[in-house]
Structure 1
Amino acid sequence: MSWDYPNPFVHRVRVGADAIDRMQHVNNVRYLEYLEQTAWAHTEHLGLGWEVYERLNTGVVAHRTEIDYLRAALLGDELHIATWCTANDGKLRLERSYQIRRPADDATIVRAVTQWISVDLKSGRPKRMPAEFAAAYRVTGG
């Protein structure tokens, strides 16, 4: 696979019938769900499961997502969704980049970037990220 950055975290999905829209390809909303699933899988891989978020009373919420749809994925396609932390100020903001590839033809289907903000889980207000977040969400791409 030709990844945009080295050493990605990769989450794999198989496109099911529930992802297909009237145009007979994956609906654009489903790609956002794939990105969110991949972000959580990577977060848990980094040792920051929901129980850690609750213990620290801190989480990250999406502030902005940009998605470039480059090709259509179809029913039955296997997709590899890669992610990297591409920026982290160690305070409030981190950035996660994504690349969705179809291994059958080595095509990039989607590229995306999400800006995340560290927040207090109880109030929902911005909150300085704990040292655990700054360390785990270290920049690995970009």
Structure 2
Amino acid sequence: MIRRKGEKIMGIISIVLNVIGVGFGALILSLGPSFYDQINEVLQEEGETLPIETLEASVNSFGTQYMVVSIIAAVLSIVGVILLKTDRRAVISGVLFLVSAVTLLIGTVGLAFVPMVLLFIIGLMSLIRKPNTDIHTNEYPS
């Protein structure tokens, strides 16, 4: 049986970072109208203009998407860490970690880079590391 302490620790770190990502999405959703006015002023200086409603809708949509994707990644990571208790389920947990990493990559447009890389590494470690088997078995005595 392999001790998967490294995978578990990195999994817990990625869960914490995903929870922080949920807070970041909530922060985006709590932005006030003065923020949208400032963004619109910057856009007007560059020669572009957007209606405030469109800008607000797009920022709120991205905040919601960021929260949902971070929640999904956190739940998949929690299930993956729980499944790491046995070597038989290490492949399943590795697949869950890789799915979580791809979800973060696509859903957050690469903004959740650190948890995504951690989950990718954990997924590969869970899939690649195999338990040591003894060369001599009881079935074939020497």
Q: Of the two, which has the highest radius of gyration?
A: 2
Per the normalisation by structure 1, the TM-score is 0.24
Question: Hey, which of these two has a bigger chunk of strand by percent?
Answer: 1
Per the normalisation by structure 2, the TM-score is 0.24
Question: Hey, which of these two has a bigger chunk of helix by percent?
Answer: 2
